[in-house]
Amino acid sequence: MTQPDTASDLLIDPFQRRVNYLRLSVTDRCDFRCVYCMSEHMTFLPKVELLTLEELDRLCTAFIHMGVEKLRITGGEPLVRKGIMTFFEGMSRHLDSGALKELTLTTNGSQLARFAQPLYDAGVRRVNVSLDTLDNDKFADITRWGRLPQVLKGIEAAQNAGLRVKLNAVAVKGFNDGELFDLTQFCAERDMDLTFIEVMPMGEDIENAARLGQFWSLKDLRNDLAERFTLTDLSERSGGPARYVRVEETGQKIGFITPLSHNFCESCNRVRVTCTGEIYTCLGQEGKSDLRNALRADTNSNEPLNAAIRAAIGLKPKGHDFDYSRQDVAGRMTRHMSHTGG
């Protein structure tokens, strides 16, 4: 079993939080254009700037040797990257060794009908599918290019392949606040978990007023749920920022990711790496470090890469600055969510 040689090999940030969760973007490209994630007319990176699949493997392996136990693959839409299954198949060796505890995927679901079975065969057991509405027209509006029946077909294929599916819904006031119970029932009927996410102030073309108008506090959302259902707080954590409740009437689990109304930074155990090798140690801060140069500095040794990773972890901040108090969007990020990888 491949594990850190000693406790000193683990990634510990300046606030004594162990980093054991890596979210890796494998592409900035996507076949949707969700309004809270990217512009309609995106300029994507030249392919030469992206890490190769071999470099992505080497990068993840370095993190795993330093104690990362959970690896989530994101994008853009990760399943549109050519040859991506060779990467998943390569990561399966770390699952087999026991060093990697979980290999998961966040997807828009558009390609799941094609890839669900190969993903399961590679060791993936859970996928998160981003789905904000069950209305065809509204889905087309918020994704700009998306087709809801294609996503629903993908969800069905994932479940048939044995994958555990969780829906992620961004809570947007005036858009899907009328579908709270529809989404809850949809997941309950299919034995799927559901997580709501507060909309975050990210994207250079988003005006402050627009974000303020879209913000639907999950405190209010939970209160709406509690008017119809009995909610029991759960102590379990998935390794991410969500806090969970059990809906007693249906038995399902619902999560709340609240970067704005309830800061979760004190237990942050994750970092994000972009498809170009930039590491962001906080989603809500602009600070980043470059790993690509270190990765390519010496193809025969990981020493430069390991040093660069440790240096980046040493700069991890205590928390983000997202704040909607005083009716202004403080701590706003100019980069698009698709750039960081969710």
Binding site for GTP, by residue number, is 23, 72, 106, 166, 270-272
Binding site for [4Fe-4S] cluster, by residue number, is 30, 34, 37, 265, 268, 282
Location of structure tokens 């009716």: 327
Alpha-carbon gap, residue 61 to 57, rounded angstroms: 6
Q: Quick check: helix, strand or coil at residue 229?
A: coil
Alpha-carbon gap, residue 304 to 310, rounded angstroms: 10
| CA neighbours closer than 13 Å in the CB half-sphere of residue 184 | 26
- ∠ CA 134-136-137, rounded to 5°: 120
**83 and 115 Cβ atoms separated by less than 8 Å:** no
Q: What percent of the chain is helix, strand and coil (3-state, nearest 5)?
A: 35, 20, 45
Binding site, by residue number, is 23, 30, 34, 36-37, 72, 76, 106, 130, 166, 200, 265, 268, 270-272, 282
Q: Where are the alpha helices (DSSP H) in the chain?
A: 53-65, 84-97, 112-121, 136-143, 148-161, 180-189, 208-214, 218-228, 292-297, 303-313, 337-340
Alpha-carbon gap, residue 211 to 208, rounded angstroms: 5
Q: Integer distance in angstroms from the first to the last C-alpha of the chain?
A: 30
Binding site for S-adenosyl-L-methionine, by residue number, is 36, 76, 130, 200
**231 and 222 Cβ atoms separated by less than 8 Å:** yes
Alpha-carbon gap, residue 157 to 84, rounded angstroms: 19
> What DSSP letter does each residue of 20-87 carry, written as one string?
-EEEEE--S--S---TTTS-SS--PPPGGGSPPHHHHHHHHHHHHHTT--EEEEESS-GGGSTTHHHH
Alpha-carbon gap, residue 43 to 309, rounded angstroms: 28
**40 and 144 Cβ atoms separated by less than 8 Å:** yes
**260 and 214 Cβ atoms separated by less than 8 Å:** no
